[in-house]
Amino acid sequence: MVTETRRAEVLPWITTAARIVLAAILFWAGWAKVTEPPALQKQAVEAYQLLPASLTGLVGYGLPVLEIVLAVLLLVGFATRFVAIISAVLMAVFIGGIASAWARGLSIDCGCFGGGGAVAKGQTKYLSEIIRDVVFLALAVWIARFPRSRASVDGLLGI
């Protein structure tokens, strides 16, 4: 029983920490992109050669601000499980996109934290980019699995 109580006390704090870390990462990633010229945000998406031209603009402009909004929602802890699930899906999409670029032999920067586009052969960092995103995915999955946390709007609302 003692361990059960301890678990119930500690888990929400772990989720709070995960929320803050994931929020910081998402905010940083979104901010780095959103402050670049719109045409370059689009170009980072085009470099993956996955989407039709009609969609690259939508993703190029929309993705950075989506990351920022998710970051803010995670930070305040509102609709935590829902937001964590979206974040997890987003990370899974990123991992898939990078893996696909790698598999097709493209030489691009993932553009995860701004930049993006082609790089010289041998300058790619696909493996480390994927490992990094898997860690972020794990954070999101943790939050989705244990959404109750301290210092959250959800807590105030009694959710």
Partner 1 sequence: MSKATRDRTAREKLAEERRLQAQRDKQKRMLGAVGAAAAVIVVVVGVFVFVNSNRDKAEDFVGALAPTSRASDGSIVMAKAGVTSPVLEVFEDFQCPACKNLEKTSGNTFKQLAADGKAKVVYRPFRLFQQTPLKENSERAANAALCAPGDNWVPFHDKIYAEQPPEGKVGFSNSDLISWAAGLSTPITGDAFTQCVNGAEKSAQVQAMTDYALKVGKVESTPTVKLDGKDITNDAFVPSDLKKAVADAG
- Nearest-angstrom CA–CA distance, 75 and 112: 20
State yes or no: residue 96 binds partner 1 (CB under 8 A). no
Tell which positions 104-133 bind partner 1, by CB under 8 A: 106-107, 117-118, 120-121
Whole-number minimum distance, CB 4 to partner 1, in Å? 21
- Nearest-angstrom CA–CA distance, 73 and 92: 19
- Nearest-angstrom CA–CA distance, 80 and 2: 28
Q: Which stretch binds partner 1 (CB under 8 A): 1-9, 78-86, 96-104, 126-134?
A: 78-86
State yes or no: residue 151 binds partner 1 (CB under 8 A). no
Which is closer to partner 1, CB of 12 or CB of 117? 117
Express the helix, strand and coil content of the chain in percent, nearest 5 each. Answer: 70, 5, 25
State yes or no: residue 83 binds partner 1 (CB under 8 A). yes
Give 31's contacts (C-beta < 8 A, 6+ positions apart): 64, 68
Binding-residue pattern over the window 27 to 66 for partner 1, x denoting contact by CB under 8 A: ---------xxxxxxxx--xx---------xx--xx--xx
